[in-house]
């Protein structure tokens, strides 16, 4: 079975989350490596780097939330760490995920059955319009979705070539990280997804460290100013369909 380095993103102020996932990893005999998260709420917006706020607002119909900035930067730092390592593939995990006992063999089976994949989302909020590419020996269906965004960057497999492409294409923040991750038609990354999650969100996920619904609503743009966003989303939707087909 192929070996993977497993990185877990964890904020300094959340030792309980780290202790929970570390205990899970130890119980199933899996080695994980903690990567410090980036607390976006502790960084003034004037100090943000590599952020295109105007394009983010235009494409997403709202302003950037500090927690989103921190999430984006944390994932980029993990990709950089991975590329600097000797490993050929990594599993990147956020600390509000429950690790299941057989998730590593299942990920290895995906790699065996679909070696062309450079990124595989192992957890999503939705998988509508799923188009199957392969089925592993564990029964995991892997493919692409006509509908999206699927949501979540909580757990995904990425290869060295995929990470290099992402670092080249998404250094500047113009989308939330989970959306940027799926845009294989733009980044050139061979992106796939599981039809059914291989891991699940833990109890910690009920307390988001990015933002709650009221915070998202507070930064939304309304009225005619959002017309351009609707047009961009329609184009992106068509590109997603073309990519999935």
Q: Nearest Cα to 41, choosing from 200, 211, 199? A: 211
- Rg, C-alpha atoms of the chain: 18
pLDDT per residue as tens digits for the range 38-85: 999 899 999 999 999 999 999 999 999 999 999 999 999 999 999 999
pLDDT category, 210, cuts 50, 70, 90?
A: low
What's residue 215's pLDDT? 72
pLDDT per residue as tens digits for the range 5-17: 999 999 999 999 9
- Cβ–Cβ < 8 Å for 74, 35: yes
Give the integer Cα–Cα distance in Å for 199 and 110.
14
pLDDT at 1 over 90: no
pLDDT per residue as tens digits for the range 15-28: 999 999 999 999 99
The CA–CA distances, whole Å, from 187 to 6, 43, 166, 181, 213 equal 23, 28, 6, 9, 29
What's residue 220's pLDDT? 78
Q: In this prediction, what percent of the chain has a pLDDT beyond 90?
A: 84
Q: How many CB atoms lie within 10 A of CB 136?
A: 19
- At which residue do the structure tokens 């989970």 appear? 178
Average of per-residue pLDDT across 133-140: 97
Give the integer Cα–Cα distance in Å for 176 and 174.
7
Q: Nearest Cα to 239, choosing from 59, 118, 44, 104? A: 59
> Would you state the structure tokens that stand for residue 139, as one six-digit string?
């029964």
pLDDT category, 218, cuts 50, 70, 90?
A: low
Q: How many CB atoms lie within 10 A of CB 44?
A: 7
pLDDT per residue as tens digits for the range 92-129: 999 999 998 899 999 999 999 999 999 999 999 999 99
87: left (phi over 0), alpha (psi -120 to 50) or beta: beta
- At which residue do the structure tokens 């909580």 appear? 154
pLDDT at 223 over 90: no
Give the integer Cα–Cα distance in Å for 84 and 243.
30
Please list, in sequence order, all residues whose beta carbon lies within 8 angstroms of the beta carbon of residue 213, skipping any fewer than 6 positions away.
Answer: none
What's residue 80's pLDDT? 98
What's residue 206's pLDDT? 57
- Cβ–Cβ < 8 Å for 104, 152: no
pLDDT at 195 over 60: yes
- Cβ–Cβ < 8 Å for 70, 38: yes
């Amino acid at each position: 079975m192929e070996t993977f380095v497993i990185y877990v993103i964890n904020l300094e102020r959340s030792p309980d989350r780290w202790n929970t996932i570390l205990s899970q990893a130890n119980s199933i005999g899996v080695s994980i490596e903690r990567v410090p998260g980036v607390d976006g709420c502790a960084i003034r917006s004037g100090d943000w780097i590599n952020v295109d706020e105007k394009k983010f607002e235009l494409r997403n119909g709202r302003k950037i939330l500090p927690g989103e900035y921190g999430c984006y930067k944390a994932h980029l730092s993990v990709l950089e760490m991975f590329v600097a390592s000797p490993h050929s593939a990594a599993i990147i995990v956020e600390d509000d995920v429950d690790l299941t006992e057989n998730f590593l063999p299942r990920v290895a089976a995906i790699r065996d059955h679909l070696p062309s994949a450079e990124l595989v989302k192992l957890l999503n909020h939705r998988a509508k319009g799923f188009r199957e590419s392969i089925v592993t020996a564990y029964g995991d269906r892997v493919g692409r979705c006509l509908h999206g965004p699927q949501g979540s960057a909580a757990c995904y497999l990425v290869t060295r070539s995929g990470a290099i492409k992402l670092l080249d294409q998404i250094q500047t923040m113009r989308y939330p990280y989970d959306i940027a991750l799926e845009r294989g038609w733009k980044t050139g990354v061979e992106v796939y997804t599981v039809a059914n999650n291989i891991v699940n969100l833990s109890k910690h996920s009920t307390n988001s460290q990015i933002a709650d619904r009221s915070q998202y609503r507070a930064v939304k743009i309304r009225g005619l100013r959002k017309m351009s966003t609707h047009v961009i989303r329609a184009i992106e939707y068509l590109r997603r369909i073309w990519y999935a087909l």
